[in-house]
A and B are shown apart, each in its own frame.
Chain A
Amino acid sequence: MLRQPIMKSGPDSVAVQQKPEPLLQLNLSNGEYNLIYSPGFLSSPWLTFMGKNGIVISLGVRIDHLLHLGHTIQSLPSFLAKVQKGMACKLTNKPAMADLKMIRAARDMMDCHFTGTVKAVYCELKLSNLLVMALAGISGQANADKMVLKPLDVEKIEATRRYLFDNMDHPPTLIRLARKMGINDYKLKKAYKQLYGTTLFEDFLHARMDKAKTLLQDTSQSIVGIAETVGYKNVSSFALAFKKYFGCPPGEYRIKPYI
């Protein structure tokens, strides 16, 4: 059994139909693709592409390849259920949009200068890569909740980060921080995660612990003093955080810092 994601990179729009009755109609414009299934797909003589100069790339996928992707693609379970029943269907109502990486992969295949078996190997590599990107793209677009960041936002977020790190000894709360920097606190949280892949305060914890570690190693400052420098009012909460982070309390760390 074969399912076909179809990707097109050409100027016209293309419809795929099965005759005598159209089982499935798919409209793809430039750069769009989708995953579709139709019973007896490859052997069917009634698969027609309508369009003038379009180039369509179709890739067959074995069903077991999709099975273990499980919940990573939102609409996949219902798609697979239909496939089991032998119904023609498509994965998403709105086709997904190929990114430049995918288009390049398709181009590389078409324009490849290798010949013979080398070409076959190269194309196979490219195809498996394209398939991963196509499926990842569909999953990402189905579950996307990224926000658009303007350069000014990015600047503000970076400034916020710097401000927090420079004022390590008396860290403000997230809301006070956001207000001070003139940015919405929700936006700050979300955009920070998007930019750096972690939360602001988790990052801040890393920085604090890093600083505490260096101070312990390189200076003879008291642990109370260090706790204050890295913004803990209470020594025992500092010791607790330190232990949780490095696995040993600060006093012990100072004696054997190689742990």
Chain B
Amino acid sequence: MKSPIEIAGEKTGTIHLSPALRTMYGPQHIPGLRCLEARGAFGHLLFQEIQGDDFSVWHCSFYLNHDDKLTLTWSLPVLRLWMALKCSFYFTSDNTGENVLHERGFRFDYFLTPCQTIRLRGKQSYSCVAVHFSHDFAREMAQCIPGGELFLQNVEKGEQTSPFPYVAGMDMLGAVEDILYCTYTSEFRRQYLSTKTLELLFLALERSTRARLSDSGRLPELVVRRIYEAAQLITRHLARDYSLRDLGVLVGLSDYQLKRGFKTIYNLTAADYRHEIRMKKARLLLEETDRPIAGIASEVGYDHPFAFSSAFRKFFGCPPSIVRKGKRIRTN
């Protein structure tokens, strides 16, 4: 079988991908997907694919031991929706200058010979998702959105309407997660994946055609890294209510830089980001464990289960007790 991607590193040389033996259940591994892998002294690359009728979704993760530039060449001319899930990708494609795609940023690309160079730091794990569409599939969807067709035409000409990537909201992130971690099987899986991918494409196109927020200046790389550190601190210590100033002191940024950084990367304030992570964690705990709701509430930083319950209801549209009840019914 020929690999659909060719990879060459500036220092490492050509990297061969081979069908992966699923012996490693690392955090990047998604059960039940076709995977291609390369492992060696340079680090570890893992490409996982979900194939649909008119699209294919790739989850790509990179971990290099040393800084390097990788050139990826895909064998298909494609229209592609590309979203960074972990860390920032600094990349150049075709003849444009270096661009950046931050966590949760996404962009559409169209390549006749899809070739792209990404600059990666060593000892840092990266992951992104790339959805490849057939041309007609995307155009059909674009026709439903005002300005969608024009946008796609521009993409195909290689002209992006905005030099900055767009930032995905909760809805798009949720759709990506649902696609990657779809647990349905057989016929349901096929149908579910195709409806979800359509939804993702719809949301992405819709968002791209709307005006971009003004605050999208380029952040220095050091600041970006520190923002991620701050985000990680928030995620690790969910129960703690860090103020902007506390966070700033811990990662070495002023509170203004933090505020602006969070806004630029996530299009959220730090507090909203924390709230989102809290809610997601709570959902995970509700669905995956049998811990009492009050315990979950305090674990994600709510002193009172009541406050937690109403926040959860506001965020997801249904109270935590219903989620728990559903789980109990399904598992018994």
Contact = CB atoms under 8 A, between A and B. Distances in A.
Contacts of B198: 125
Nearest to B198: A125
B213 interface: no
Interface stretch (B80-88, B115-123, B153-161, B185-193): B185-193
B155 to A, nearest CB: 19
Contacts of B144: 117-118, 121
Interface stretch (B17-25, B251-259, B263-271): B17-25
Nearest to A139: B188
Interface stretch (B102-110, B233-241, B302-310, B319-327): B319-327
Contact of A132 (B191, B202, B325): B191
A148 B329 contact: no
A203 interface: yes
Contact of A129 (B199, B329, B330, B331): B199
B34 interface: no
A99 B195 contact: no
Interface stretch (A15-23, A78-86, A101-109): A101-109
Question: In which size bucket is the chain A interface?
Answer: 35 or more
A111 B313 CA distance: 14
Contacts, number: 102
B199 A147 contact: no
B289 to A, nearest CB: 7
Contact of A114 (B206, B283, B330): B206
Contacts of B287: 99-100
Interface of A: 9, 30-31, 68-69, 72, 97-101, 103-104, 106-108, 111, 114, 117-118, 121-122, 125-126, 128-129, 132-133, 135-136, 139-141, 144, 146-148, 150-151, 196-198, 203, 206-207, 209-210, 213
Interface of B: 21-23, 25, 31-32, 144-146, 171, 174, 178, 184, 186-188, 191-192, 195-196, 198-199, 202, 206, 283, 287, 289-290, 316-318, 322-323, 325-326, 329-331
30 contacts: A9-B317, A31-B322, A31-B325, A97-B330, A99-B287, A99-B323, A99-B330, A100-B287, A103-B322, A106-B317, A107-B317, A107-B318, A108-B171, A118-B145, A118-B206, A128-B195, A129-B192, A129-B199, A132-B195, A135-B188, A136-B184, A136-B192, A146-B331, A147-B331, A150-B290, A197-B31, A198-B22, A206-B21, A210-B23, A213-B21
